[in-house]
Structure 1
Amino acid sequence: MKPKKIPMRLCLGCGEMKPKREMLRVVKTKEGEVSLDITGKKGGRGGYLCLNPGCLEKAMKARRLERSLSCQVGGDVYDALQQQLDEIARSGDHLPESG
């Protein structure tokens, strides 16, 4: 039996390939709404950030989310990302499992 393939994604902050389940996803829907996708299953164009707070800072500074999603990303999205990273750091857990 073949081992199951682990989906890998590129972090917009550090540029490293990491397993999809260990990353945060930001998605732009067809309506143009940008939001945090905790489940990893929302439809639309997505960008990924690893759980390192430094990666969020790098992505904000270089405007990598805006380039990846081809739209303006508001401060509320960055605030939600920072809050999610803080919660993960406090709990010491990883992201919730997505089926």
Structure 2
Amino acid sequence: MRRRKIPMRKDIVTGESAPKKELIRIVRDKNNNVSIDKTGKKSGRGAYITMNADVAKKAKATKIFDKSFGVKLDNHFYDQLIDYAEHEQARKQLFQNDK
């Protein structure tokens, strides 16, 4: 059977490449609204970050998405990102232990 290619994306904070499923997509739409793309299919300009709370905290400290998207984001967005990263990280560990 033929092996499928795994799509790789680059983390905007660390610069490391990882499989797309292991990253969180952040998207900016036409109206300059920035949000977490949980499906990975929203239209707009996207950037990726590792599902790691420490990396999300580093993104908040450096305001990386402000620079990348050219918009001013408040701390509330970064707090949501940190919470989402912590949730996904815990979820991943929980389901890996079930196998």
* TM-score of the two chains, using structure 1 as the length reference: 0.81
Per-residue deviation at 1:54?
1.8
- Counterparts of 2:7 and 2:67, CA distance in 1: 22
- Which digits, 9 at most, give the CA deviation of each residue in 1:43-76, with x for residues without a partner? 0011111012221122222222122212122222
Gaps of 5+ in 1: 95-99
Normalized per residue, the structure richer in helix is 2
Per-residue deviation at 1:34?
0.8
- Counterparts of 2:94 and 2:26, CA distance in 1: 20
Q: How many pairs does the alignment contain?
A: 94
Answer with 1-10 or 48-57: which moved more: 1-10
Residue of structure 1 equivalent to 2:73: 73
Structure 1 segments, 4+ long, off by >6 Å, are none
Could you say if the C-alpha distance between residues 83 and 6 of structure 1 is closer, same or farther in structure 2, counting changes exceeding 3 Å? same
Per-residue deviation at 1:30?
0.3
* TM-score of the two chains, using structure 2 as the length reference: 0.81
Structure having the higher Rg: 2
CA-based RMSD of the aligned residues comes to: 1.8
Q: Percent identity?
A: 34
Pick 1 or 2: higher relative contact order, CA cutoff 8 A, min separation 6. Answer: 1
